[in-house]
Structure 1
Amino acid sequence: MTDRHFLFIVSSARVPGAVGNTEWLAREAARHLPDGATSTWLHLNGLDLADFEDRRHDMGTYPMPSGDTQRLLDATLAATDLVFVTPLYWYSFPNRLKRYLDHWSAWMRVEGLAFKDRMRDKRVWAITTSGDRARTQPMFDSLKLCAEFLAMQWQPPLWGLGGAPGAIEKDAAAIATAANYFGARRA
């Protein structure tokens, strides 16, 4: 038994419900979560995430967020494992994921929240698909640096061949890796 809770943060610009190659690969990996693990899936494209305004030097602290931004904060803090399900857009991650990460800066400054301390030791995973593994490395490096800044545990990323719809379903190596990506397989 485990008390692990995985938050899958889907950052594709696709309409929620339209599963692209990256989400398909993530769902394949999620079928093999460790025994007893639970999961939540949030599609950033389906959330009304507030704009981020950098007011660190004006305000010092930030108010507690509300609406979908609060929902995302709560889900983030409740997770033991954050899984970034992010296609590669122009050699980086989609703007919705960048906005979410920008909010971390505000959440570190919400009085009494202790965001940075509460993020420590959470595991961080990244799943993507693209036409070329080497071109995804800068995106992975960026996510790894974010994890390291908060003393989180960066895990090796999962990459599969993307491109046209359904391309990932032909990538036998990625599918095999997905089956063991999160460790212990469900019975």
Structure 2
Amino acid sequence: MSIAVIYGGNRPNGNVETLTKLATQGLMIEEIYLKDCVIQPIIDKRHAEEGFSDVSDDYNAVIDRILPHDILIFSTPIYWYSMTGAMKNFIDRWSQTLRDPNYPDFKASMSSKKAYVIAVGGDEPYIK
């Protein structure tokens, strides 16, 4: 069993990173910090005749790091009732990878993984 943690937070040692480290304490994990990566937003060409264009950024390197793992933990603070933009850009790009001939087994590989989300918000939710 191998685990990759994908951190979507932008603040070093923030609440979600602290909670994630507590939850994974004693486990062998690979940590991936999206804040240290350049991942461009998707330009949706799913229906374009020419298909997706190659993008020169760190996205494929991150995909190559997570694919060998059995378990993925997505760790993100909640910003405006959702995941961070960095995490959203990363997940949005999966649409491109599903059609990338360099990753012919991407869908099958990702569907065989267990995935967990650790999310932290701080807007006094008990008042709402």
- What interval of TM-score do these two structures reach, taking the shorter chain for normalisation? 0.7 to 0.9
* Structure number, greater radius of gyration: 1
1:23-53, Cα deviation, whole Å (9 max, x unpaired): 00100111133xxxx3211111110112311
Q: Provide the aligned length of Structure 1 versus Structure 2.
A: 125
- CA distance in 2 between counterparts of 1:110 and 1:103 reads 11
Residue in 1 that maps onto 2:118: 127
Q: TM-score, normalized by length of structure 1?
A: 0.60
Residue in 2 that maps onto 1:13: 10
- CA distance in 2 between counterparts of 1:119 and 1:60 reads 25
Aligned positions of 1:87-98 closer than 5 A: 87-98=77-88
Runs (5+) with no aligned partner, structure 1: 136-187
Instruction: Indicate yes or no: 2:98 matched with 1:102.
Output: no
Describe the SS at the equivalent of 2:89.
helix
Do the aligned partners of 1:10 and 1:41 also contact (CA within 8 Å) in 2?
yes
- CA distance in 2 between counterparts of 1:71 and 1:118 reads 16
Do the aligned partners of 1:64 and 1:110 also contact (CA within 8 Å) in 2?
no
Q: TM-score, normalized by length of structure 2?
A: 0.85
Name whichever structure is richer in helix by fraction.
1
The Cα RMSD (Å) is 2.3
Deviation, structure 1 residue 70: 1.5
Runs (5+) with no aligned partner, structure 2: none
Do the aligned partners of 2:44 and 2:52 also contact (CA within 8 Å) in 1?
no
Higher relative contact order (CA 8 A, sep 6+): 2
Identical-pair percentage: 29
